Homo-oligomer: A and B are copies of this chain.
Amino acid sequence: MKVGFIGFGEVASTLSKGLIGNGVEVYTSLEGRSIKTRILIEEMSINICKNYKEVVIISDIIISAVVPAKAVEVAREIGKYSKAVYVDINNVSPKTVKKALSYIKNHKTADAAIIGSIKKNGINVQIITSGKSATQFAKLNNYGMNIKIIGSEIGQASTLKMLRSSYTKGVSALLFESLYTAYKMDLDNEFLKCLELTECPGFRESAISRIISSGFHADRRAQEMEEVLEMMSYGNPFISRATAEFFKTLSKKLDKIDKKFEDYKNLFEKISD
């Protein structure tokens, strides 16, 4: 089994390591990579091709794992050479994945999304997939991966990932907002204790980590929520709309050196301690 990676960030390097350990031949290219990535690739038993065109030609399964903004571009560049299965595992919207995969001329495509933390789970991380060639992609389960087919259409896997991330973002926004109200009344600590009583074990740690990462990534989350809203536009997504608004405002509040928003920052700093 020959697997080619387009792009070589955390996802590709983690999966490569696991696949090689299970006897897979892994291919990639140093084309346009940073020195750090080049060193990383050269230290691993990876077959290095001259360029991505070569990777595509030699592989049985091609996995596109690039930065979201490049997903369409790479597919357009190399899509015509692929005789294999082309899997888009990038963190992009259903609309974008459809566009990217439309450039794969042989139509052997699968949409894939990582659920949970690849850092924590390595090659065992849950991957969901959909599309005509999802079954072929899932054959990598014989080589240590944990791929689950959820449908036969391109876009289903990324829709599910987006819905899930909209849910977790909503919970974070809700937590932040309620905790802020409690904080204004000097009841923040009691509020967390109170939720702990009936929520599941580990609630406090997970709540605090959600709030902190909401603060740090408020701007990116606001942008991601715009994509969610586009996807949900035929319905009336009250909470998702409010979540988008929340992150937009939070990002402004945490950015500004503004007396009016000092309390917001104070809570954030208190929680981050």
Contact = CB atoms under 8 A, between A and B. Distances in A.
A169 to B, nearest CB: 9
Number of chain copies forming the complex? 2
Interface string A186-201: 1100110011011111
A167 B195 contact: yes
A224 interface: no
A239 to B, nearest CB: 5
A134 interface: no
A239 B249 contact: no
Interface residues of A, number: 54
Given A197-B126, A238-B246, A163 B151 contact: no
A177 interface: yes
Interface of A: 115-116, 126, 128, 150-151, 156, 159-161, 163-164, 166-167, 170-171, 173-175, 177-178, 180-182, 184-187, 190-191, 194-195, 197-203, 231-232, 234-243, 245-246, 249
Given A116-B198, A151-B190, A167-B195, 15 more contacts: A128-B190, A160-B190, A161-B194, A167-B175, A167-B178, A170-B174, A177-B235, A178-B240, A181-B235, A184-B234, A200-B201, A238-B242, A238-B245, A239-B242, A241-B242
